[in-house]
A and B are shown apart, each in its own frame.
Chain A
Amino acid sequence: MQVMVVTVDVVVLAAATAVYLAVTMLLGYLGYRRTKTAEDFLLAGRDSHPVIIALSYGATFISTSAIVGFGGVAANLGMGLIWLTVLNIGAGVLIAFVVFGRRTRMIGQRLGAVTFPDLMGKCYRSPFMQYGTGVVILAGMPLYTSAIRIGGARFIEATIGVP
């Protein structure tokens, strides 16, 4: 099997990374200037523009698992993987927001909840629910992010040839 190796100009990559970091730091500073309360910090004052939320959701969900992982699975199994997208957008986003969106916002605002464990704890008046969901996130997040990091490292390895 013939393997095509694509190399990336390291100077261009470094320049793009520097611009990205500069913009990130500038946005961080602007956010810092406008942040007064914990709700401002954690939820952007509950007043984020929908486009910002959409971009944030996309950046969160479309990680290396989607780009590298799904690409690899599609290469192995075929384009039938498009049905994952259909169910993800149809059931995972549309139906979830139609059924739960309004209620979740209403309850979260009424209870002043700022995180998912906070919402669970206040909604059910149960410290067990709050700490339990927190522990699930605490245990699951490193497993998920480590897979993402491995995917990112593989991507860099294949792209710029760093072993």
Chain B
Amino acid sequence: MFGINDIQIVLGYGLAIGFTLACIVYGIASRNAGDGRDG
């Protein structure tokens, strides 16, 4: 896939991109969490 033959490398890329998206979603969902202004 994408010229990469080793499935472990493809899996690594997939997880890295997946975790990055998870970071963005979590960051948007919990922006300013723990801030006194929003309780």
Contact = CB atoms under 8 A, between A and B. Distances in A.
Interface in A83-98: 83, 85-86, 89-90, 93-94, 97-98
Nearest to B17: A89
Contacts of A103: 34
**Interface range on chain A (Cβ under 8 Å from partner):** 20 to 34
Main secondary structure of the interface of A (DSSP, over half): helix
Interface of B: 4, 6, 8-9, 12-13, 15-16, 19-20, 22-23, 26-28, 30-31, 33-36
9 tightest A-B CB contacts, nearest first: A82-B12, A106-B34, A102-B34, A105-B34, A89-B19, A90-B19, A86-B15, A102-B33, A85-B16
Given A80-B12, A90-B15, 5 more contacts: A50-B31, A79-B12, A83-B8, A85-B12, A104-B34
